[in-house]
Structure 1
Amino acid sequence: MLNITKATDIKETKGTYLIYGPPGIGKTTSIKYLPGKTLVLDVDRTSKVLRGCKDIDIAEIDNINTWDHWEKVLQDIVKNKNNYSQYNNIVVDNISELERCLLSDLGSKGKNKGVPSMGDYQYLQFRLVNSLRYMKSLDCNLIWIAWESTDLYTTAEGQQFNRAYPQINNKILNNIAGLCDVVGKLTFNKEGNRGFVLMPTNDVFAKNQLDDRKGALQSELIIDGTKAIPNKPTK
């Protein structure tokens, strides 16, 4: 039987966020501003910028034997939820490097001198999408960090734009983004303040299904760790 909930009864929202930008722009630093207590799953070893932050714990992901270790980490977090209930946020930093580590590990176990096979890419695609589905069962905000890629995007009218998007395997990019409530590109404004673009344009891959904001300061991506800004009522 279906478990039906009235939309008017939904009081709190735990969000799933995918944030991206070029290396060095401050994606990992953004973790400092997350409200509440945060667990960082450190893949790319950039967590030293978080030194001294009292509400942040860091766990390194094995970036050599990644395939088996990542599976064990997810199983432990989900099966032992009570042990991780202290965390308001769980961050994967970053998914682009995790993708490369998983592929490298699979390739090292193959017969092609360390080069991943076509089948390895398919294994990777299912592993990443299923990982996000698996983690969405947790009662906390999920933040996946990615590097940035660019391509030449052509609209239905034939116009072309240089588009920025998260560096994730192209075959699953839409799937991953679809499972996220928010996709934001970290950038600078004219005054040098960092913030996230949350509204999609022809040259920026983004979305925001939690509220009406088109952008957010780096310190205001998540307002309070549990509650999203309510959508404006439609007329």
Structure 2
Amino acid sequence: MQPIKSASSLSRTKNWRVLLYGKPGVGKTTAISYLKGKTLVLDLDDSSKVLAGLPNIDVQPFDRSKPSEEWKDFLTNLNSRINGYDNLVVDNVSAFEKDWFVERGRESKNGIGNEIQDYGQWGNYFSRVLTTVFMDAPINVLVTAWENTRNITAESGQSFSQYAPAIRDSVRDGLLGLTDVVGRLMVNPKTGGRGVILEGTDAIFAKNRLDHRTSAPIEELFAFGGDGDEQSNRQSAVRSVEHDEATLPKSK
């Protein structure tokens, strides 16, 4: 067992784990450019072209036709692979989930569909992979995912849309429990500005245990630990994004 630590010596902003999700095309991969220091991107969905020309970012290509083999190779000697980097980005776990089930379907009896046991095995496999990354990587880790929307009816009878990372429920809650920050990336349709919601509600999966911000412009998302005045300024920068979302028609 490791030695006991004083809470006064703990750092909120060192080796953080962040999950950023949003609709395809809202700028999740582009957000990588705002990370400080040197970054290694594990490109799970072939979207790294938007990072072209950035000097402090390296990209590890990923063969989507054999995701299990690729992950095994990547996790072998993980520490030496990420040595010299400040950040590791796993971009995009929703695409990885789809590719994994396609791979298992090819190995099924009919060569197309998935077997019942695949769904249970996925939960164990995904948890092992991401837990290994989160526990063994001594650097910041950013994970991105697509957004899933579903209609929810509360006990009161009120219906609303719920936004969450697009991964199966069986593994989503476990992943969210391992993260320090879960943010929903949105675009203001009027200004084109991008903001991240960091405070969870019944309608939005989100949390922030690194500082007191409830939202932030994407350019400043990774500036964890700012003071109260900076927090207020950042929140006001995305207030219009939240307002636009709040005024969207709700499901009936």
Higher relative contact order (CA 8 A, sep 6+): 1
Indicate the SS of the match to 2:85: coil
Tell me which residue corresponds to 1:141.
140
Q: Are 1:3 and 2:30 counterparts?
A: no
Indicate the SS of the match to 1:100: helix
* Structure 1 contact 85–139 (Cα < 8 Å) conserved: no
Distance 1:87 1:112, change over 3 A: same
Indicate the SS of the match to 2:97: helix
Tell me which residue corresponds to 1:42.
43
* Structure 2 contact 43–59 (Cα < 8 Å) conserved: yes
1:8-60 CA-to-partner distances (Å, cap 9, x unmatched) read 01135211111111111111100111111111111111100000000000011
Indicate the SS of the match to 2:75: helix
* Structure 1 contact 210–231 (Cα < 8 Å) conserved: no
* Structure 2 contact 82–88 (Cα < 8 Å) conserved: no
What are the within-5 Å matches in structure 2 for residues 194-205 of structure 1?
Answer: 194-205=194-205
* Structure 1 contact 184–197 (Cα < 8 Å) conserved: yes
Indicate the SS of the match to 2:162: strand
CA shift for structure 1 position 192: 2.6
* Structure 2 contact 20–143 (Cα < 8 Å) conserved: yes
Tell me which residue corresponds to 2:175.
176
Write the letter of the residue equivalent to 1:162. Answer: S
* Structure 1 contact 161–202 (Cα < 8 Å) conserved: no
* Structure 2 contact 194–218 (Cα < 8 Å) conserved: yes
* Structure 2 contact 130–175 (Cα < 8 Å) conserved: yes
Tell me which residue corresponds to 1:85.
83
Distance 1:231 1:10, change over 3 A: farther
CA shift for structure 1 position 2: 5.1
Q: Are 1:103 and 2:101 counterparts?
A: yes
1:60-79 CA-to-partner distances (Å, cap 9, x unmatched) read 111001112212211231xx
Write the letter of the residue equivalent to 1:170. Answer: D
CA shift for structure 1 position 129: 1.3
Query: Aligned partners of 1:155, 1:207: CA distance in 2, in Å?
Result: 21
Indicate the SS of the match to 1:146: strand
For structure 1, which segment, 170-179 or 187-196, has the greater mean C-alpha deviation from structure 2 after superposition? 187-196
Tell me which residue corresponds to 2:225.
229
Query: Aligned partners of 1:148, 1:53: CA distance in 2, in Å?
Result: 26
Query: Aligned partners of 2:57, 2:14: CA distance in 1, in Å?
Result: 21
* Structure 2 contact 37–86 (Cα < 8 Å) conserved: yes
CA RMSD of aligned residues (A): 1.8
How many residue pairs match? The answer is 225
Q: Are 1:165 and 2:161 counterparts?
A: no
Write the letter of the residue equivalent to 1:148. Answer: E
* Structure 2 contact 40–88 (Cα < 8 Å) conserved: yes
Indicate the SS of the match to 1:14: coil
Distance 1:2 1:50, change over 3 A: closer
Tell me which residue corresponds to 1:193.
193
1:145-182 CA-to-partner distances (Å, cap 9, x unmatched) read 10111012234544321011100011111111111111
What percent identity do the matched residue pairs reach? 36
Q: Which runs of 5+ in 2 are unaligned?
A: 229-252
CA shift for structure 1 position 85: 2.3
Distance 1:76 1:102, change over 3 A: farther
1:76-132 CA-to-partner distances (Å, cap 9, x unmatched) read 31xxx1442211111111000001111111111121322121211222211111112
Distance 1:73 1:2, change over 3 A: closer
Q: Which runs of 5+ in 1 are unaligned?
A: none
Tell me which residue corresponds to 1:18.
19
Indicate the SS of the match to 1:132: helix
Query: Aligned partners of 1:168, 1:194: CA distance in 2, in Å?
Result: 23
